[in-house]
Chain A
């Protein structure tokens, strides 16, 4: 369960201030899927960053699984992220010095866990990369890199998965493959999915769509996931 209350984010540089988010409030039930859509610069990434505790809001608060992120230190938030959150980024963000499987294992290793290798291998197997596990990111295509990123996002069995434009850097065919994978992994593990995108087709796959404009939520609608579109595309 993720609760957002009166979230406001203002950037000040010099004597100018820019309010990027204004009094945003909503909450997300466990295991549901939500898309945040809006034009470029409307504050989507900022909102996502705040929800995941990557940054501190100017006012308001984020309560994630009953933990109020606003009162935690950066290192405490890092701990919360590690235990509860998975990430998928637009530009994959794999660590270049690590092989595919090592990239997947990182969140587990950060918890000090052993035996992460088997889980990582299973996840990579599911994403169809079983024969590429010892390759470095630079030896993988964009789509393959994003699959590794997906595997990494699920290794710690997160409660919530944040995805910021997961298909933004990929061509249509590769995108739909990644999209299918994302949703199927999500379904299998019962994770809450919060998806940021300006791709309305992609947003159409979620149960709920939040529209942002100029830092404000202008609509919050329930959606019937249109599996049909993905099926047609794939």
Chain B
């Protein structure tokens, strides 16, 4: 046969095969539906997101250029602003307590004191809308929706910031370029700039950012615009953002997100692939006779491979097609799910690229996995047509074809993961973890089957023996089911446990029986009265720590600008430029251990460099070690220091920890503020206490750790919901694979069930046997998956999150229970048709 004839022949034969086995074959490939749907929906969402970021990029920034610095703009920056021309808007952004007289609540908020028509592009979504035009002239405040949700404030209420009372003019529903989640962490409050200039809110030491937004569409900000400005900006410790840079950084972070989600969806597809391979394997086994007859009649091996390949392709196409439809429907839901985290309005049109992508990846996965069992066709000898009792002796030779397919498969997974993560290392890790987990699951399956066979409990009741024996019957799918169901469980459990680890890490503050309220920015002259107030309220004064802010001027005599210029790495740049909040004391605290040099606790001002201690990580970033000298700029005063020691810091310890610690004897007279830790035990005490502080000391910020925790919890669970949503596709795939497996072995089972019934077994007995089998399967899969997930999360906790890991067993047990219940339910449900079938049909059936 010529290739074309072979192609036509295999198409014709596929058609005939499909005619009688369509639903069965469709079920096999339907395991890829959810994987394809996941890929298509995420890819389409990613495309729409990119398009939205591109289309809305001007409103992402709200301006053409934004300059920002930690201090009021100096001459040089003002000159720069002037030279960039156009329309200007000024903003001062800082954290401050706001007080709500109506309810008596206080909340640390992000204050944006504005002057000018910002945003120039896009618009702040305010209710009522006209408040946006009025608030600056009428000294009103626009407050974040989250304040409304939390304290039920309404337009017309009053809000106090510092000593100034503002009428709330409107509720902010959305800020272009920002996410709703940002507002939950620090509610945004817009007020007129005039009302804060020159007030105590902006005094030295508080964290204030000064921004100037520039609207000048004439200026080209693309290309090397930022690079040209860099020396000037570095000199003044300022930063510039342009539409391009904002777009690029947003694009980057969302590419990471969609890449990650795509990988989770891809796992579902791979699991589906495993299901396809296994069903096709059984299908080929059942078609063995037909294949050998075809070979007797003169069909060549390539023709038969071609036949089954085109058959699989047709089915894969159908499966992928359904997956694409499902994915198209799903991706309309994604923007709603993630809207709190995305700063743009995303459309829900299905992108063509996503469709093609889902189709191609779905087909490749189907083909590769179908070829695994197809490679075994080579071993089916035509002899089997005249003799069935002997297996051909070639069965165990290494199958080169199969080896090739495996290599291709691994290469494909590696490449796919590389495309999504952008890194070979991560791709290797991804592929390795999946491979290892699947290998372990399949090992467990093989081991269990081996053990059951070896120590078969012959003394057990008939029903139990039969149920157990089903696990190793010929053509059993025990291994494949344990792999797919187990992997689904594994994924869900890892996600759940990781979320717990992250939350526990935050929770340590709240539940350690210690501080749950932190007072920041307490001026030195306020420390005494505030401490008195705490005691008077009957609250514990847990700790008072002084903080002095400073910046690096030079290291070993080299100015920071010159070091910065030849430093290419980002992190060190950040470490050089940042503002250091240092403390001073005469001893180490429990969370610190010296790793190099010696701790020096006191300093007598004799003109020698001050011996300071750096945290090891930041020292690494700064590329400094013991003996190096560093000149700090302490709010205008130069302080020469020498690195005396490096400290390891346990950041989980709920005491204020510092990168930089000075000895006693030098910083005492410097301008400083205090961090004070206390604990409030009820919401009422907390509210009353905060109210007192805010009324008397408006510059002090209070962080309520319990609230931070609750906020983090709600945000984290939203994030994990998205990921779990994707992981759920793996579970759906597991369900389909399970249904497929039950249907595949249906005829065999029907024969047995009928035999059993003929021999006098009741329908109930038959059901119980199957229930036992599926319970065992589900238990094994869920248990192994869970154990593996605990191990994996432990590894993640230790090496990645660097957090302690205490797994909570109850939810895991619940998960296992659900998985087992689902397995039994679906198993029995898919088998239900066995009973109604007349015996004759089954005896005549060719598929037995």
Contacts and interface: CB of A to CB of B under 8 A. Distances in A.
Interface of A: 11, 13, 45, 48-49, 52, 54-55, 74-75, 78-83, 85, 87, 89-90, 93-98, 102, 106-107, 109-112, 136-138, 152, 164
A164 B298 contact: no
Given A54-B296, A81-B297, 6 more contacts: A81-B298, A82-B297, A106-B294, A110-B294, A110-B303, A136-B20
A54 B381 contact: yes
A96 B297 contact: no
Contact of B296 (A11, A81, A94): A81
A90 B388 CA distance: 12
A95 B290 contact: yes
B293 interface: yes
B12 A96 contact: no
B9 interface: yes
Contact of B385 (A79, A93, A152): A93
B16 A102 contact: yes
Interface string B1-26: 11001000100100011011100000
Contacts of B247: none
A82 B383 CA distance: 15
Contact of A97 (B5, B21, B393): B21
- Best-surrounded residue of B1, B12, B290, B382 (most CB of chain A within 10 A): B382
B302 interface: yes
B298 A110 contact: yes
B535 interface: no
A95 B20 contact: no
A96 B9 contact: no
B381 A107 contact: no
B386 A97 contact: no
Given A54-B386, A102-B16, A107-B298, A96 B846 contact: yes
Contacts of A81: 296-298
Contacts of B19: 97
B313 interface: no
B748 to A, nearest CB: 16
Given A54-B381, A75-B301, A112-B1, A45 B846 contact: no
B230 interface: no
A88 B383 CA distance: 13
A95 B294 contact: yes
Contacts of A55: 381, 383
Interface in B278-298: 289-290, 293-298
Contacts of B386: 45, 48-49, 54, 89-90, 164
Interface in B814-848: 844-847
28 contacts: A45-B386, A48-B386, A49-B386, A54-B382, A54-B383, A74-B301, A75-B301, A78-B299, A78-B382, A94-B293, A96-B846, A96-B847, A97-B16, A98-B16, A102-B16, A107-B297, A107-B298, A109-B12, A110-B9, A110-B297, A111-B1, A112-B1, A112-B2, A112-B5, A138-B844, A138-B846, A152-B297, A164-B386
Contacts of B382: 54, 78
Q: Which of A55, A80, A85, A96 has the most CB of B within 10 A?
A: A96
B300 interface: yes
Given A55-B381, A93-B293, A96-B846, A78 B16 contact: no
Contacts of A138: 844-846
A97 B1 contact: no
Contacts of B2: 112
B671 to A, nearest CB: 88
A81 B382 CA distance: 11
A11 B301 CA distance: 24
B397 interface: no
Most buried by A among B1, B294, B386: B386
B387 interface: yes
Closest 9 A-B residue pairs measured CB to CB? A82-B298, A96-B846, A112-B5, A75-B300, A97-B20, A54-B382, A81-B298, A93-B293, A107-B297
Nearest to A52: B296
A85 B386 CA distance: 15
B295 A78 contact: yes
B378 to A, nearest CB: 9
A2 to B, nearest CB: 17
Select the residue from B21, B301, B846 with max chain A CB neighbours within 10 A: B846
Nearest to A153: B297
A52 B293 CA distance: 13
A54 B384 CA distance: 9
B290 A97 contact: yes
B9 to A, nearest CB: 6
A181 B845 CA distance: 27
Nearest to B385: A93
A110 B9 CA distance: 7
Given A54-B386, A102-B16, A75 B9 contact: no
Contact of B300 (A11, A48, A79): A79
A227 B30 CA distance: 58
Nearest to B295: A78
A138 to B, nearest CB: 5
A108 B301 CA distance: 17
A96 B297 CA distance: 15
Given A55-B383, A97-B17, A136-B20, A87 B846 contact: no
Contacts of B301: 74-75, 78
A75 B845 CA distance: 32
Contact of B298 (A48, A83, A89, A136): A83
B847 A49 contact: no
Given A13-B393, A136-B20, A89 B385 contact: yes
B165 to A, nearest CB: 84
Nearest to A13: B393
A85 B385 CA distance: 15
A74 B378 CA distance: 10
B298 A79 contact: yes
B294 to A, nearest CB: 7
Contacts of B9: 109-110, 112
B300 A78 contact: yes
A107 B1 CA distance: 12
B674 to A, nearest CB: 84
A233 to B, nearest CB: 26
A87 B16 contact: no
A91 B844 CA distance: 14
A87 B20 contact: no
A152 B5 CA distance: 20
Given A89-B385, A89-B386, A93-B293, A110 B299 contact: yes
Contacts of B296: 52, 54, 81, 87, 93
B747 to A, nearest CB: 12
A78 to B, nearest CB: 5
Nearest to B302: A75
Interface string B296-323: 1111111100000000000000000000
B1 A93 contact: no
Contacts of B300: 75, 78-79
A50 to B, nearest CB: 10
A109 B101 CA distance: 90
**Which one of B293, B298, B299, B300 has the greatest number of beta carbons of chain A within 10 Å?**
B298
Contacts of A164: 386
Max count, chain A CB within 10 A of own CB: residue among B2, B21, B289, B387: B387
B102 to A, nearest CB: 77
A45 B20 contact: no
Contacts of B21: 97
Contacts of A97: 16-17, 19-21, 290
Nearest to B382: A54
A188 to B, nearest CB: 21
